[in-house]
Structure formats: structure tokens, C-alpha cells
Amino acid sequence: MKHEIVITAPGHKGTLERLVQEFSAIKLWEATDRAAALKEAAPRVRALAHSGHSKVDGHLMDALPKLEIISNFGVGVDQIDLDAAKQRGIIVTNTAGVLNECVADCAMALVLNTLRKFPQSGTYLRAGNWQTRGAYPLGTSIGGKTLGILGLGRIGEAIAKRAQAFGMNIRYHNRNQKNVPHAYDADAATLAANSDVLLVITPGGADTDKLVNARVLDALGPQGYLVNVARGSVVDELVLLRYLQEKKIAGAGLDVFEHEPKVPPEFFALDNVVLTPHVASATFETRKAMGDLQVENLHLHFAGKPVKTPVT
């Protein structure tokens, strides 16, 4: 007999197919009456499979009083009320570990593309400007530059290794100093002041909301670059937009935005920003590994075994 679960969103296609095949699945996004669907499932459902940007709050947890586990597709759990889950004794898991390398690849690609302006130069070529207007303007080298990593966790350390291979110097800021060979700065503004490129790879949530604000961008300065592969909420997006428009910083590479998938269209007119649609972990291999881990955590819990990647 298959265990019954609630799935909050369709998410990754292959993972959804596994969830539907291996469990008795209630697709919450398909319910015409969400409250009625939850009420009907409440006596039986012990697990929730979550993905996407919808909130998993105390109200949803209370609608499923037998809920024991929320298995999240993704490393970030800022859309899940962890305090509410802890109060109710609900385990929350994520897919930590399996996406480190791909996110680090994306981060370095954004550093390169932002400073060298490869996407803009490609557009210049395609428009015929190379023949009519001559060579594309010079970009900025990354070798010898200082990369300030805001959030030196597992992904941050993977980024640091790549950046060092490109000849960059590494500084970082965390809530707590780590036993690593990189220079430590006591706060985000100091890190920005000491960096040529400030790379954001912190968790999202209330603790980091708008951590990168006007004070930090002022410290980064008109020769500095910002790269964000964390969460859009970590950066004050409207302030960043104004600083880019007014050339108060040199440029930015952004994979995440505050109100995804909505992006302020003013960004599109700027030639000092590189934009990607939250694709840091978006490879076939990594998304499959994330889905496999989400499903594995559910099976482990139902078997009475410890989950692999607990958050709470």
C-alpha cells in the first residue's frame, strides 16, 4: 500500500513523475477547492512534498494535523515557516549538497560574464556592429581581483576554489568566522569595501532580508561589481537598480530576483547587468539528484529511519 502525500506544486517533471508513481499523491495545485482537498486528506496524510515559491505556513500545517515531514525540493527553505514546523514536531528536509557544484559553476559564469560583458558583446556582434562600428569596448579582467563571498557555506567554498583557479583573491563574511585560509570581514559593508566583486550566496529569510542595501553598495563603490546567486530578498532590488542606472557600482550579475518570476523591466535596458532566470542549479543531472534526494527523504521517514538532510 502506497503512503499518501500532498504535493504543493508540479515542480521538476521527473521528480513529479516519481512522486506520483511511488506514493498516493494529492496534487494540491489541481484542487478546485484547496481547503476541501486538505480537509478530505487530513486524516491520512503524514508527508508534504514541496517545491516552488508558495508558502508552507502554520495554517497549512494545521490543515494536516498528522503531518510529520515536509520534504523540500531545493536547498533554500525560506518559504517554509521553520518555527511553525518545529513547534509542531514536523521534520523539514532540503536537498543540500547535491547542487553545490552547479551553483558554483553558475556563480563563476556570472562573475566572468559580468566583468567581461560576454553576453553584451555577443549581442553587439549579432547586430552587425562589429563591421559597422568596430571592436567591442574593453572588459575587465578577473585575475588578481578580490572576490568577497557573502556566505561561505558549502557552496561558497566551492565558489572560492573556482575563483582561486582564476587567480582571484578571496575574502568572506559569515555570522561566525570559519577555520579557512581566507581573510574574514566582520560585516557585509566591510567585505564590500575590501572587494572588487561582492558575491552573495547566503540563505534567504528574515535574517538576511535586504542585507545588501545602500550602505553595502556604497562601500562596494563605482568600480565594484555585485553577483547574486542566493535569494532576491537578500538584495534591496530597487536600490540596486538605481545604483546601476546611476553607475554608482560598475555592474551586476543576477540569477535571482525579489518577486520571481517578475523582474523590474528597467533592468532590461541596462548594459551593465547580466541577467539569468534563476538557473544556478538548472541542469538535467542536478535537478534529477535534487528530486532523488527529496523522494529518498520521504521513503526514509516512512520506513522509520533518519532522513538524510534534515533542516529541523
Which residues are annotated as catalytic? 231, 260, 278
The x, y and z cell numbers of residue 214, run together, are 545602500
- The CA-to-CA distance between both ends of the chain, in Å, stands at 28
The x, y and z cell numbers of residue 61, run together, are 500545517
- Reduced to 3 states (helix: H, G, I; strand: E, B; else coil), residue 281 is coil
The x, y and z cell numbers of residue 231, run together, are 535569494
The x, y and z cell numbers of residue 187, run together, are 560585516
> Quick one: DSSP state of residue 94?
-
* Residue closest to 145 by CA, chosen among 120, 160, 161, 163: 163
Based on DSSP, count helices (H) and strands (E) in the chain, helices before strands: 12, 12
- 191 touches 169 (CB < 8 A): no
